[in-house]
């Protein structure tokens, strides 16, 4: 039986390995802006943590968003610990990113679809981010009104066509509930939870409209050690930032393809 001759694709994929890309010493997130759309970030906590570890991070900037009107100034504080845990994961994976805190909860402690859209557009237009992390979800019953759903979908699609990669936590409300915007895939990357022996490992596991699994334990905060999609999403967002720091002009679909092939070549499977 005649052996099939290798092609240029075989050569490319043989070089596309987690070790050659993710462990490249230049893959630090340098030059990549990341927005964490969440409950704010406690800046001093992260500065103290990373300074204590001898890791230099860029100054965290941000804003507090409302359904209407201009955003309020960011004072370096969180509305709740969730956003700080998410930001810590991004910086643990890609410590040299330029991180922006988009607080969409503010003093009221609640978030509307319109606030998320305002934060997303600000992150794209003003902060010029390449990666957006959405470790929050809007349950389907809140988007029964089609105009609201279409507005959110248009904002996600706008990000995609402006070369901004959005990572969204899947099933953030309940394992059996469709959660938005993750259900809008493929213009974004939806992430489910898994446990891996290395936080740089992840898996491609297509199930309904969810494509990837990533490490789902955090490192800082009251609930960080409890596996959650909220913690899985910034792991994969940080990994994407590492890839982008090697080639910042990659398109969102190219990043998704690279993540898929990194999984194929690394053969990662979750521990749980």
DSSP bridge partners of 214: 193, 202
Predicted local confidence at residue 176, as pLDDT = 47
- Active-site residue, 38 included: yes
Predicted local confidence at residue 240, as pLDDT = 97
Predicted local confidence at residue 218, as pLDDT = 97
Predicted local confidence at residue 207, as pLDDT = 79
Give DSSP secondary structure letters for 149-180. Answer: HHHHHHHHHHHHHTT-EEEEETTSS-TTS-EE
Nearest to 18 by CA among 262, 264, 268: 262
Catalytic residue among 39, 79, 82, 88: 82
99's CB contacts (< 8 A; 6+ apart) are: 33, 34, 35, 36, 41, 57, 58, 60, 61, 87, 90, 91
- Active-site residue, 150 included: no
Report the distance separating Cα 247 and Cα 80, nearest Å.
34
The pLDDT tens digits of the residues spanning 251-267 come to 999 999 999 999 988 75
Catalytic residue among 39, 179, 216, 230: 230
Predicted local confidence at residue 139, as pLDDT = 57
What is this structure's pTM?
0.90
Give the CATH architecture of domain 15-266. 3-Layer(aba) Sandwich (3.40)
The pLDDT tens digits of the residues spanning 5-60 come to 889 888 877 888 888 899 999 999 999 999 999 999 999 999 999 999 999 999 99
| Cβ contact 19:271 at 8 Å | no
| Cβ contact 214:236 at 8 Å | yes
- Active-site residue, 141 included: no
- Residue ranges in 6-145 assigned as alpha helix (H): 8-15, 18-21, 43-52, 81-93, 113-125
Catalytic residue among 38, 88, 103, 192: 38
Size of the chain in residues: 272
Which residues of the chain fall short of a pLDDT of 70? 1-3, 137-146, 171-186, 267-272
């Amino acid at each position: 039986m005649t052996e099939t001759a290798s092609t240029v694709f075989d050569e490319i994929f043989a070089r596309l390995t987690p070790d050659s890309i993710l462990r490249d010493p230049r893959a630090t997130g340098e030059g990549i802006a990341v927005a964490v759309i969440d409950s704010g970030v406690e800046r001093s906590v992260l500065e103290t943590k990373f300074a204590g570890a001898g890791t230099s991070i860029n100054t965290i900037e941000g804003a507090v968003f409302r359904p209407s009107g201009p955003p309020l100034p960011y004072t370096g504080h969180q509305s709740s610990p969730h956003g700080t845990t998410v930001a810590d994961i991004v910086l643990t994976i890609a410590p040299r990113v330029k991180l922006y805190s988009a607080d969409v909860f503010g003093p009221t402690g609640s978030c509307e679809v319109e606030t998320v859209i305002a934060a997303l557009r600000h992150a794209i237009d003003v902060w010029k981010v390449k990666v957006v992390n959405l470790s929050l979800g809007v349950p389907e019953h809140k988007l029964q009104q089609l105009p609201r759903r279409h507005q959110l979908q248009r904002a996600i699609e706008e990000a995609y066509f402006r070369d901004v990669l959005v990572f969204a936590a899947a099933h953030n409300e309940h394992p059996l509930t469709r959660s938005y915007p993750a259900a809008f895939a493929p213009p974004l990357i939806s992430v489910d939870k898994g446990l891996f022996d290395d936080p740089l490992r992840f898996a491609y596991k297509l199930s309904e409209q969810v494509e990837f699994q990533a490490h789902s334990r955090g490192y800082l905060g009251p609930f960080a050690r409890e596996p959650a999609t909220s913690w899985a999403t910034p792991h994969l967002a940080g990994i994407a930032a590492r890839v982008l720091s090697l080639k910042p002009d990659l398109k969102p679909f190219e990043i998704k393809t690279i993540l898929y092939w990194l999984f194929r070549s690394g053969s990662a499977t979750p521990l749980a």
